[in-house]
Amino acid sequence: MFLKLAHKSLRFRKNSVLLTIFAMAISLTVLLGVEHIRQQTKHSFASSVSGIDLIIGTRTSQLNLLLYSVFRIGSPTSNISWQSYKNIRQHPDVRWSIPISLGDSHKSYRVVGTTNDYFKYFKFGDTQQLAFAQGQNFQGTFDVVIGHKVAQLLNYKLGDQITLSHGIGSTSFVNHDKNPFVVSGILQPTGTPVDQSLHVSLAGLEAIHATPQSMPGTLTPKSITAMMIGLDSKTKIFRFQRAINTDPNEPLTAILPGVALAELWQSLSMIEGTLTVISSLVFVSAAIGLGAMLMASIKERTQEVQLLRMLGATPIFIFCFIELEALLITAVSILIAVVILSIAILIGQEHLASQYAVQTDWLILSATSVTTLAQVFVVAAVCSIPAAIVAYRRL
């Protein structure tokens, strides 16, 4: 009866109620959207690389090195020499190493020059190894292994021919169209930037850049962009890092991916915090709007409240009645917001993933957003207290 009364009462005043629901739903969409993307970003950041002891590049900031080597964002200032790469690889403490050579692209997806060790040692998430959905690693010079998204979005199959472009724009004036690559493998989805990458061998990369003058057959690169290494003992990481950072032969930087990731997230936390505050304020203003709408309705409903009191309704009942109306409005708004957001993410998913490397799940009701929703209910209830008290005091 209680619920029926509240429900019918809201439908009776549907114009002002619908307007309030609309305002609340919009603000909740913003709130939940920001919250959701924040979580997803944090998650995909944290899981984009793991199981790697050090990332080594030219002398640069720790963030820059992380961004271009792992996230393929931005450009390296300079490369590291092939000699340094060889020296480090042959160091007795180094168990394995992955060279990375960047600079080319295919239809705005980055191309990574590397070796087959990449598929063996690169780890992501909870130290998961890369796995092939189809095909296998490089067998010949012009083999290419493509990420899940690249295959999906460009609709590539094993055996397809691909032409790389010099530089990283989608319209390049220099296309390496004399040397097409053949898709030899397609990786399983990882939810990391690997999905948006094409991997070729260092020799292949060298071959397409070779000028007619250069000697054919000697496809050893002069330099690489960065390298990832694993040491035979974790205890040697810091000593090794210091040794590289102070290498007298070449100015190099070695970073611990975990530390750099944390720093990266830290530097984003200002933006993260600002977004949360703004979306919370938007929601609070909508909740105050709800309170004002209820307050205005109490004035019109003096007789209704009087009648309920005469029928034997206690003041507490009246108070709860108004609060229940507020919570019903909030519940409907949340429902609408969740639907809007799910649809928006479903539509925008591909764009977010390809443009910002943010993997989003359209199922937005995670454990944290349930906490957020609980807070939303509390705020809505608090904002309706003044109206409920006014109703309670009538008579």
Partner 1 sequence: MLYYHKVINIKLYRMLIQLNNTQFAYPAAPNKTVINIDTWQIQQGLKHFLHGPSGSGKTTLLNLLTGISAPTGGEVYVLNEPLHKMNRKQRDKFRAHNIGYIFQKFNLIPYLNAIDNIKLAHYFSRSHSKTLDANIDDLLHTLQIPTTDWSRPVGQLSVGQQQRISIARAFINKPNLLIADEPTSSIDEDAKANFLSMLQTLCQECNTSLLFVSHDMSLQNMFDHSHSLPQINRPKGA
Residue 384 beta carbon to partner 1: minimum distance, rounded to whole angstroms: 20
Residue 290 beta carbon to partner 1: minimum distance, rounded to whole angstroms: 20
Q: What would the two tokens of residue 264 be?
A: 């990266």
Number of residues interacting with partner 1: please give it, by CB under 8 A: 20
11/86 with CB nearer partner 1: 11
State the DSSP string of 62-106: HHHHHIIIII--S--SS-EEHHHHHHHHHSTTEEEEEEEEEEEEE
Q: What would the two tokens of residue 111 be?
A: 């191309």
Binding test (CB under 8 A) with partner 1, winner from 129, 269, 314, 371: 314
C-alpha 114/C-alpha 122 separation (Å) is: 11
Stretch that binds partner 1, among 42-50, 224-232, 243-251, 301-309 (CB under 8 A): 301-309
**Contact between 123 and partner 1 per CB under 8 A:** no
Stretch that binds partner 1, among 33-41, 300-308, 345-353, 385-393 (CB under 8 A): 300-308
How does DSSP classify residue 56? Answer: E
Stretch that binds partner 1, among 6-14, 26-34, 216-224, 348-356 (CB under 8 A): 6-14
**Contact between 395 and partner 1 per CB under 8 A:** yes
Residue with tokens 């109306």: 325
**Contact between 4 and partner 1 per CB under 8 A:** yes
C-alpha 310/C-alpha 328 separation (Å) is: 25
**Contact between 328 and partner 1 per CB under 8 A:** no
Q: How far is CA 33 from CA 21, 228, 288, 361, 371, in A?
A: 17, 35, 21, 11, 14
> For residue 287, which of 34, 27, 17 has the smallest C-alpha distance?
27
4/234 with CB nearer partner 1: 4
> For residue 95, which of 138, 53, 149, 34 has the smallest C-alpha distance?
53
**Contact between 299 and partner 1 per CB under 8 A:** no
**Contact between 11 and partner 1 per CB under 8 A:** yes
**Contact between 8 and partner 1 per CB under 8 A:** yes
175/306 with CB nearer partner 1: 306
Residue 193 burial (10 A CB sphere; 0-12, 13-18, 19+)? buried
Residue 387 beta carbon to partner 1: minimum distance, rounded to whole angstroms: 18
Residue with tokens 């009364």: 5
**Contact between 304 and partner 1 per CB under 8 A:** yes
Which chain residues interact with partner 1 by CB under 8 A?
A: 1, 4-5, 8-9, 11-12, 303-304, 306-315, 395
